[in-house]
Each structure stands twice: as C-alpha cells, then as structure tokens.
Structure 1
C-alpha cells in the first residue's frame, strides 16, 4: 500500500504481503488500514501512520503465534481481542498503544462478526502514567533557550565565514596551501566529499584518503562547513519551540515558503506569515502562524538592556530569518520546501547524500545528551523535548497556541504540575485584587419585595433617592437593562454629562444609577452561573482578569438574598430570560 505524506510530498510504502497471516486476512487488514488512514480520518502525520502499521504487524505476529490462528478477519472472536490485550500489557501493567490502534482500525473493517464489532467498540483500559509530564521552570526554560541560541550563533559564524572564504577562493584572492578551499568548493558543488569510485564489501563508498587524512575532521564535520548538522537542526527546532510554543510536528514541518506581512518596509515591524499543518484537526488542519520581530521576554537574559543587534535570535522573526538563510543550500540540494533541512550523517548516494529535513527524535536526544543543560534540582541534566517546551510555553504565556482555551485548561494546564503552587499564588492575588476592587465601588441599591409590598410609593422613592416619576417607570420595568434598572441613563459616570450611557451592561453592577428589584433576581442568578461555567473554558488567570470583578459584584449582590429565593429564581427563570442571558454573556448586546 502506498501512502502520500502531505507535509513531505513523498510516498511511503507499507507491505501487507509479508505479514505472517493468510492472504485473505492480509487483504482485509489492508482495506481496513486504508480506511483508517484515509483523508479526513484524523491521521495525517507520518509518525501516526507508522505507529498504525506497527500495530498491525504486532497483531499479526500475535495471531500467527496462536495454536489455531484464524484464517481471516471473519474468524476473529472476542477472545482474540482479550488475548491481544494481555499480549500488549507490559510488565508494569501499562497497555501498549498497539491495542488501542488495532481496535480503532478494526472498527472500520467490513469482515468482522457482530460480536467482535461490539468488542472493539468497548472502552480501552485507562493507563495510569508512571510519571506525569511536567513543564520546565522559567529558569530551566531560559537555560535551554540560551544553549540553543549559542549553537545557532556558532553555526551562523561558521557557515558565513566559510561562504566568504569560498567566494574569495573562487575570485583567486586566497592561496589554498592545504587543499581546504578545494574541498570546500567540491562540497558546495557536489553536496558531498570526494569519494573513490568503487564500493567496499560492506556497501560503502569511501571518502578519498586526502580528505580523511588531511586534518579536516570527519565527513559530517566537513559537510557542516556550509550546512547545519543534525544536532544544530535540533537546536533550531528547540529555539522555534521556545519562541512559538507550536506542536512538535508543526515545528519539524515549518515551511520555508512564507509571506512578508510587513511588505519589506524598513521602518515597519518585520513579520513573516507561514502556513502550518496539524493533521489531527481535520478540516481545520491548515492555519497561519505569524512570526514577528518582537522579543520573547520570557526567555531573554535577566538584563534585557544587554541585547544588541546581533541578538536576532530573541525574536521569532529573527530565528526564522536566520534559519532560512543557513538552510538555503541544503534545501536546494535535496529539493525540500521545509525550513529545517541539513546534513545527516547517513543517507542515500549521489547528489543530496545526507541532506534531508529534521524528522526523527534522535537529533533532539543527541542535542540533549551533549549539551547537558542543568536542572534546577542540580542532579541529572534536563531531558529536552519539544512537547515539554510547548507545555512550558503555554503555561508561562497563559494563552492557547493552535488550540482552544478549553483545551489549554483541561489538556495542558490541568494535567501539568510543574509550577502549580506558584501559579495558584498569582491567581489568588489577582482574584483578591478584583474582590477588593468590587467592594470598594458603589454597592447596588436593592429594593426587596417586602418594601415594595408595604411601603408608600412616594416615601419609598424618596428613601432610595428617586423622584416619583422615575420610581413609577422603574416599577413598570421601563428602565430595565439586563440585570438591573437604570435610573439616570444620561448622567452615567462612564460617559460625559448629558450623554447617553454607552458602557457595557456588565458595568451596571458598579454604577450608582443602578437599582435591583426582585424581578431582576433570575437574570442575576443566571449570569452568575454562566460566569462560573466559564472557568472550565479558560485559564484561571484569564478568567480572573475578565470576569473576576463582575463575579465578585454578583456574589455580593446574591449574598443579600435568601438561598431559597435564589434557588426559586434559578428554577423559575423563563425562556426569554435565559435567551437574554445567553445573548448578553456572548456579547451580542454590545455596541460595535
């Protein structure tokens, strides 16, 4: 079966003829595999397709080892699924991913019996992670960024110096006494070092003796004279993750093709717009990312005044621009349209040997092992991964990156325990500030149902600072806004005198012109409930900044009512009131 990787624009073949099962089952599994990875299935990355194929291989190996292997998929029984679960369970009790992937693929298989179809739709056992993925601290995040920047600065200095040397050599202004310039020119022209024509018995094409014995270093060292090495590509990916917080697949697939949003204007803010692809998002997989020439102040040194013009690696635009320059020749050599392309120590033969985009995790692991960035604990060095860098980015910036605020809260921050105590302190301080602000502002004047039933209207109006006509209109509900009644629309503290008030209806909670009547209670309760519900859709800090003040004001207002009245108001809210609150909290009533 041939599958085309959209992000690589190349084909990958997966053979089902070699699987240790009968030919009929091979064809049935191949058909199910094709449906599972088809466009629109949510699987679009090369790694996801590979994992699915490995799961098929493991499943077939398991079936082949049974005393009585099934001849085709229609002969599968629920007991086979249960036995495969035992096969996939590791020594620590954790079920390998193969089990979930096989069940997902068998759900689209046409040859299963009804009993097996039901079996593969049962929930898979949940794994309890042995170790929870956590973010780096801010200090660790900064040290990782500094190490990656140092690598890229050295690479830029080396490549630019060698390009300048090559230009002088071709111009005839440099004497090549040790054949270094000759080798540099050969590498630039052929994309490889000079090699012997023959092939060894191990299938290797050996570099010529004057290359290996000339004191130039190893072949990967020589090839890195004009291109980034695999480890330097890892440093580039790490710095892009630090700057943008994007997914590992998005980082590795960053395109070289881009649009300059600033139009190359000298005095404008330099901006690059690129297309990124997240296959799991389905029809929303394609999106744009903006890389601006604005420093990321979280990862800069402690004293930002020390930044100079050479520190272009402190902005997303600067990182992208430098990488675009350093990888240009490598992209041309292998015909790739990706940004992160360099020389790898192994590869094919002929032109383009060893040049390919960053794809595997091995260069990232090699970078982590060689740089040994110290941890805050001071014991073992940090293990640097792109997914932990993304987790740290969204925690420190408190904003979603190519996902919703709800995903940020539940999938990233909710499961991260890296710096939870410090974050709680920040949220608590912000919430206390909003509560203090609410209590220092005007408290809404509340008219109870007992007052309205017993008091003289004129005396009650005077007691609440209103004239009789305004009081009469207020009781007739002619002055209602959303949660209260407004007694003086043209003398609001939020606008100028004799000007109609244009403030949000949420501002009524702190306005001296507002009066709360019993019939407002259902709407007040519903708005309070909606603000509470918004907590699960955004980060705690963002919720406090957006809704902390009105929530505190409504809480104080509702505390002045009997809990039974509040429960009755919630239960007795009319459909019109519920629709009004929905429109209000969704900002459909705002003046735009």
Structure 2
C-alpha cells in the first residue's frame, strides 16, 4: 500500500502488496518450549516426561500452532488448561493403549474411551465434555496441518465432539447484597489507605528508629529505590540495612515490602482494586485485568466512556460502556486514581496496562489469579458469607453480583435490566440464578394473592372478604369475578362461557356443579349458601341408599368439607352459620330469570 492511509482518499496498492510470505515452519523439535500468549504473558510448557515421544511431539507442535497469532488460543490461562488436559490424555493412553506411539495409530475408539474414562474418574458431564473438546481440537489441528498423519477412522470421529447429549453447566450464582456490601466497604477503605500510603516516605517503623546506623542505611536504601526503581536483594544498600536490623534483633521479614509499598502498588493491593472495579462496572474479571491506562475518554455530565477488551466476543472484542465519573468511589475516578498511583512505576517499567505493580523484586503488568492474596484480604477484613462462615471469594462471581443488584434495583424490569444484552440472554444468564429465586417466588405468591383477592375488590361488602376459588383448588387457572352473575354457591366469572355447555349459551349444569367449575369464585358471602347445601346433603343420607348418596353427593361433600371450608377460619365459618340461621338463602334461580 502506497503512503499512509487517510480518510477520504482512495487507497493504492502495488504488485508487492499481493505477495504472501512463506509461513515459517514450526521450530518445535523438543518438548520444552515457551509460548508468548496474546494475553496473560508467557506460558512455559514442559512435556519432556510424556511418552511416547513421537506422539508427544506431534501434540506439542499442534498446541504451539493453536497458540500462535491468529490461532484460537489467545490467553495464557487457556493454553495452560490445554496443557493440563494433554497430560490427562497421556495418562489415559498409558493405561488403555500403551502400544500406541503416534497419532496415525489412534482410532475413534480411543476418543470415545477417553470420554468414558473421564466419567469413570469422577468428572462431571460438563467437565468431561470440556476436556474431551480440547483433545478433539488438538487432533483436528494435527489433521489440518498434515492429513497423512491421521487415520480415516479418526478423521470421521473428529467431525463431532461427543455423541452423548450436551448438558448445560449450572449458572454461576451471585453473592448476596450483604456480602457485596462487605466487599465494597472493605475495598473502598483499602483504596483510601493506598492513596494516603503512596507518599514516597520511609515506613514509620524505620523512620522513627532511634539508632543512627539503621536510619542512615535506611536513607541510603530509600534514595536508591527512588532513583533506580528497585534494588535486588544482593544489592549493597539492601544487605547493609538487613545486617543492621538483624544484629539489633529487629524484624526483617517484611522489610522490602514495607519500603516498596511507599512507592508502588504491590500484589496485595490488587484484590480490593479488582473487586471494586468489577462490582461497580459489572465487567468480567478478565476484562478488568486487561484494562489499559488510557481506557477513559469523552467525560461529560458526570459520566465517562470506558474502553475495554472482551476476548470472548469473537470479532467484536473492542467494547465501550458509560460509567460514573467523579471521586475515587466512582469507576472513572477509581481508574484515574490507579493511573496516578502507578505513575512512578511506569517510569521504570513502561507499559500501557492499567495495573503496574511491584512483586518479588521486580515490576509486573500482567495480573494473574491472586489466590493467596485474595484469601489474605478476606481474612484481614473478616468478611463472612451469609451464614457466618469465612467467605471464599471468586472474582468471576462479581459480575453476576453486579447484575443481581441491578435486577433488584430495577424490580426485575427487563427493559431496564437488559443493558448490553438481549432480553433473552439477560433473563437466562443473569436473572435466572439461585440467589434471585426467592424474589421470583415472592412475586408469584403476591400475584396469586392479588388474583384471589380480585373478587373481594370488585364485590362490595361491609367487611374484607376472604375469597377462595373453588375449582381452582385442584386445576388452577385465572380467577375472575362477575358480581352481576351470581349463582347459589359461587360468584360466576363466565356464566355464558360454561365448560359444560356451548359458548354463548347460559350454563345448563345443576347448581352444585359450580363446585367443579373453573369459573367459580368462593367468597365469605357464599358460605351461608354452601353451609345450607351441606346440611341438605347430610339430610339426604337418611332417605337415600348409601351407594346412591355417594354417587350423587359424595364428591360435592368431599369438595366442601376437605377443600373449601378448611380454607376459611373458624370465626368466618361461625359467622356464616349465624347468618344462615338468621337469613336463610333464597332458592337457586339462574341469573337470566332475574333480568
């Protein structure tokens, strides 16, 4: 291409632009090598202990090609996960097929057998599928690079990952608001302490020491750190201060950590920073770790645009979002504070990463999984789970926690909740989680109570009535009321839409059929008629044969005595009985006869 590309100008290409360079052959001839991942730093891989050697070299070459630029493996953690699965596969082959020495001797039954072996080893269906897929991807790469190395039988098996039904993994749950509040309070307190600590002064324990030798040697070490960034442990200034403290019986275990923490962020500062950023923005933790120092732009009206990279969004990795901007308690202000706190470290370790920190006599700009520091941070702040036990913090659950808190704030309004996702994705991945299930169950219960109470709201009565749907006690369904269409034992919500007769015609069923009708709504006002009918049923026992009585009135009797009356309190039934004695109900007449 000629010249620098400019907007509005036609790009010109020459013959040399269409010439492709010959791909360099793989340089792997051994089983120990380093892969420079596009994200997460270098991955040291060592397969020298695997055998047979020929098969190990073929798999190592395939894994290297998958990890190169343009390959599907871009993160260091993913490459290491593939390497661990390779070791598991070789352990399986050593037991099930010890005579196989190359990929050309592997057939389909070994792939299926590996899947069955994983499940026999106690792996879950989801875990076994994940590890099986890695082996299938590796052999697909071997076949794509050299088809002569793979048998036709194995090539046919590589067309699919597993013949067994796919099982979805359980959704990652969110932390409760109680745990989220503890995490946020602890992180904000630590951020405020960081801003006060990074002043470039000597630690109080050394600055306040009365021994002139210790103070002099500490000043020399302090000046060396200020001018050179960091000093190795074998540096003269470091050794002299160690010797002075040791001969006087003073502690030296955290000497360098105390000195360097006055200049730079340390690995112990990462847990509160990662936690607070993920909780306040809702970013995936891998996106928070990969933020750049210049990730903010277009500040306006208390908000700012945050640029981040989401590698899992294939083809759309570069994304943006608007976040609050202000002091260190806002996402925008916290990111600016981190840039300020890492400014001195960037002088000695130039990097565009947001997190540049000191660790183990050197600077780092790649954040890996800080497991031990997470546990130390949780223990230092005494953060506990919902039931009082020490919290096991998983940074991957913080995004779900942010989403769950937003769901509670919006009262489950999907149009406001589904930010950055379709409604279906937001509902399936972020709303349908165990921690939000009590809210959903409460909402359903409130809706049912509102539906049951609809009859009492539309039919005026001096006192608040207790309505129970008769037929819905077994079959469920929508409950509605129509006070103008009263029948004897219930309020009919659809007298001209009877399940016992054609639509549009009046109900032609006997009056006690209301007890089985989906349209029936039983309220306190109908209890006197039901009690009168119950007395009539009981009186018929003396004049009808027992079998005939059971065939005619048995089901209605069971319905009243076991389902309808137990739904009302003894006081309500007693009041209905008194009303029945004082004012016997009228005989049954269909509503059309009263019009």
Q: TM (normalized to structure 1)? A: 0.57
Judged with a 3 Å threshold, the aligned counterparts in structure 2 of structure 1 residues 244 and 72 are, in CA distance, closer, same or farther, namely same
Task: After TM superposition, give the deviation of residue 143 of structure 1 in Å.
Answer: 1.1
Q: Is the 8 A contact 1:241 1:251 kept in 2?
A: yes
1:234 aligns with 2:266: no
Aligned to 1:162: 201
Task: After TM superposition, give the deviation of residue 323 of structure 1 in Å.
Answer: 1.2
Task: After TM superposition, give the deviation of residue 234 of structure 1 in Å.
Answer: 1.4
Aligned to 1:119: 157
Correspondent of 1:324 among 329, 332, 339? 339
Q: Is the 8 A contact 2:217 2:240 kept in 1?
A: no
Aligned to 1:189: 227
Judged with a 3 Å threshold, the aligned counterparts in structure 2 of structure 1 residues 423 and 337 are, in CA distance, closer, same or farther, namely farther
Q: Is the 8 A contact 1:37 1:49 kept in 2?
A: yes
- Counterparts of 1:413 and 1:152, CA distance in 2: 31
Task: After TM superposition, give the deviation of residue 3 of structure 1 in Å.
Answer: 4.0
Aligned to 1:371: 381
Judged with a 3 Å threshold, the aligned counterparts in structure 2 of structure 1 residues 432 and 361 are, in CA distance, closer, same or farther, namely farther
Structure with more contact order per residue of length (Cα contacts < 8 Å, sep ≥ 6): 1
Structure 1, unmatched stretches of 5+, are 169-174, 199-203, 263-267, 295-311, 348-352, 441-558, 566-592
Match of 1:418, SS?
helix
1:417 aligns with 2:431: no
Of the two, which has the highest radius of gyration? 2
Aligned to 1:210: 244
Task: After TM superposition, give the deviation of residue 147 of structure 1 in Å.
Answer: 0.7
- Counterparts of 2:230 and 2:121, CA distance in 1: 47
Q: Deviations over 1:33-60 (max 9, x none)?
A: 2454455655322211211122223323
Q: Is the 8 A contact 1:176 1:182 kept in 2?
A: no
- Counterparts of 1:41 and 1:433, CA distance in 2: 57
Q: Deviations over 1:30-89 (max 9, x none)?
A: 453245445565532221121112222332343345563312112102332234335434
Q: Deviations over 1:237-257 (max 9, x none)?
A: 011011111111101111112
Task: After TM superposition, give the deviation of residue 365 of structure 1 in Å.
Answer: 3.6
Q: Is the 8 A contact 2:38 2:69 kept in 1?
A: no
- Counterparts of 2:220 and 2:163, CA distance in 1: 62
1:48 aligns with 2:81: no
Q: Is the 8 A contact 1:40 1:282 kept in 2?
A: no
Judged with a 3 Å threshold, the aligned counterparts in structure 2 of structure 1 residues 190 and 270 are, in CA distance, closer, same or farther, namely farther
Judged with a 3 Å threshold, the aligned counterparts in structure 2 of structure 1 residues 12 and 388 are, in CA distance, closer, same or farther, namely closer
Judged with a 3 Å threshold, the aligned counterparts in structure 2 of structure 1 residues 130 and 31 are, in CA distance, closer, same or farther, namely closer
Q: Is the 8 A contact 1:323 1:340 kept in 2?
A: yes
- Counterparts of 2:74 and 2:83, CA distance in 1: 14
Q: Is the 8 A contact 2:133 2:161 kept in 1?
A: no
Match of 2:199, SS?
helix
What RMSD over aligned residues (CA atoms) do the two structures have, in Å?
Answer: 4.3
Q: Deviations over 1:308-366 (max 9, x none)?
A: xxxx332111211111111222333333321122122x36xxxxx25443212323343
- Counterparts of 2:52 and 2:431, CA distance in 1: 45
Q: Deviations over 1:212-255 (max 9, x none)?
A: 67667432222212122212111100110111111111011111
Q: How many residues align?
A: 400
1:134 aligns with 2:143: no
- Counterparts of 1:252 and 1:189, CA distance in 2: 29
Aligned to 1:144: 183
Judged with a 3 Å threshold, the aligned counterparts in structure 2 of structure 1 residues 21 and 274 are, in CA distance, closer, same or farther, namely farther
Task: After TM superposition, give the deviation of residue 180 of structure 1 in Å.
Answer: 4.2
Correspondent of 1:104 among 125, 132, 137? 137
- Counterparts of 2:78 and 2:140, CA distance in 1: 17
Match of 1:160, SS?
coil
Q: Deviations over 1:149-200 (max 9, x none)?
A: 11111111111373999xx9xxxxxx995554443332222232464359xx
- Counterparts of 1:206 and 1:55, CA distance in 2: 48
Match of 1:290, SS?
strand
Aligned to 1:343: 358
Aligned to 2:316: 284
Match of 2:58, SS?
helix
Q: Deviations over 1:84-117 (max 9, x none)?
A: 3354347544245433321232233313333323
Structure 2, unmatched stretches of 5+, are 1-27, 29-33, 144-148, 208-212, 408-416, 458-495, 504-595
Matches within 5 A, 1:406-555: 406-414=424-432, 416-425=433-442
